[in-house]
Structure 1
Amino acid sequence: MIDVEVVQLLVSPAHRLAGRPSEGPAPGPDDERVPRAEVRARLGLVGDRYFAQAAHRDASVTMMSVENLPTDIDPAVGLGQTRRNVLLRGVDVDALVGATVALDCGEGPVRFTLNRPARPCAWMDVTVGPGAQKALRNKGGVRCTPLDDGVLLVGPARFEVVSGPGA
């Protein structure tokens, strides 16, 4: 296990990046970041737009590494702009596609299967800034399936590669 930090959590009931990027994001709450997120096995984050959506069962949670954010484009970039759910410091989740990992924020480990890369889209150039889509290629995070019920909290955590690449 390695020490990591959960920098931000985002649970959004609204799909804000729909339609054409030139029209801008759909309206929604000013800040969808939360200090605590409830996880349900194979369903996602309670209250999130992808929770219990059959089409997103293998991609209901998206993890991203803070080290991969294009801070040269926008120093304040975070989950509000990238629309990922879990922002981690201290581990390169993009290098672990295909692995099963455990994240323990102090309330017990929650396992996730890291299924596939979260490909950045043209919206990144709108929400983060020009050049963000290109900057996030191969570093846009990983779409995951939660395997356990549990809780994620912003703050220090422990991360373990349980099986697969990096184990």
Structure 2
Amino acid sequence: MLTVDIEIVALLVSPVHAFEGRPADGPRPDPAAAGTGRVSVRAGLGLVGDRYFDHPAHRNAAVTVFDADVLDRLAAELGLPAVPDPLLTRRNIILRGYPVDELPRGREFSLDSGDGPVRFQAHRPAHPCAWMDTVLAPGAFKALRGHGGVRCVPVTDGTLSVGPAKLLVEG
């Protein structure tokens, strides 16, 4: 078992899918684009209020976890003047301090931001889409391949908040 001190840098619960249509047309308005400081997690369902909550097609992929350090590397690789806003990736839980893309598929992990651990099961990679070239920077889509985060299913109910947290990877 591995325990790591991390930081949850952003949380996104969005009732709409902002990346529909063609990237050249731009994303549709999203009232949740600024993120939130706290989310409620429900086992097997996802994040309360999110577009994928209790969506049958996304049961094993209702929550996406992303490593903010990837954006630091992206900014350096593409020569960007600043690191892109992590909320633009449209990932639900954005953390810093652990290489999320290395979470073992099928394994459980937990996040605890002070209200008790919330367990998740890692399932599949959250592949970036062509929208990344529009919302982050030209070249981001290609640069993020293999580093788009992990799609997960919550195993327990709980609450997560932005700020210091612990990540525990089981087995």
TM-score category of the 2 structures, normalised to the smaller one: over 0.9
Judged with a 3 Å threshold, the aligned counterparts in structure 2 of structure 1 residues 144 and 105 are, in CA distance, closer, same or farther, namely: same
Mapped partners of 1:16, 1:100: distance in 2: 29
1:158 aligns with 2:166: yes
Aligned match for 1:87, one of 94, 100, 119 = 94
Question: 1:36 corresponds to which letter in structure 2?
Answer: R
Identity %: 52
Deviation (angstroms), 1:78: 3.0
Question: 1:71 corresponds to which letter in structure 2?
Answer: A
| Structure 1 runs not aligned, ≥5 long | none
Aligned match for 2:68, one of 66, 74, 86 = 66
CA contact (8 A) 2:68 2:86 kept: no
| Structure 2 runs not aligned, ≥5 long | none
Partner SS, residue 140 of structure 1 = coil
* Count of matched residue positions in the alignment of Structure 1 and Structure 2: 163
Partner SS, residue 115 of structure 2 = coil
Partner SS, residue 12 of structure 1 = coil
TM-score, normalising length: structure 2: 0.91
Mapped partners of 2:120, 2:85: distance in 1: 21
Aligned alpha-carbon RMSD (Å): 1.3
Judged with a 3 Å threshold, the aligned counterparts in structure 2 of structure 1 residues 154 and 30 are, in CA distance, closer, same or farther, namely: closer
CA contact (8 A) 1:18 1:25 kept: yes
Deviation (angstroms), 1:76: 4.1
Judged with a 3 Å threshold, the aligned counterparts in structure 2 of structure 1 residues 21 and 97 are, in CA distance, closer, same or farther, namely: farther
Judged with a 3 Å threshold, the aligned counterparts in structure 2 of structure 1 residues 97 and 17 are, in CA distance, closer, same or farther, namely: farther
Mapped partners of 1:30, 1:109: distance in 2: 25
Mapped partners of 1:18, 1:91: distance in 2: 30
Q: Deviations over 1:64-105 (max 9, x none)?
A: 001111233552423431110011111011011412101111
More helix by share: 2
Mapped partners of 1:50, 1:79: distance in 2: 19
- The range that moved more, 154-163 or 68-77, is 68-77
Question: 1:95 corresponds to which letter in structure 2?
Answer: E
TM-score, normalising length: structure 1: 0.93
Mapped partners of 2:17, 2:150: distance in 1: 18
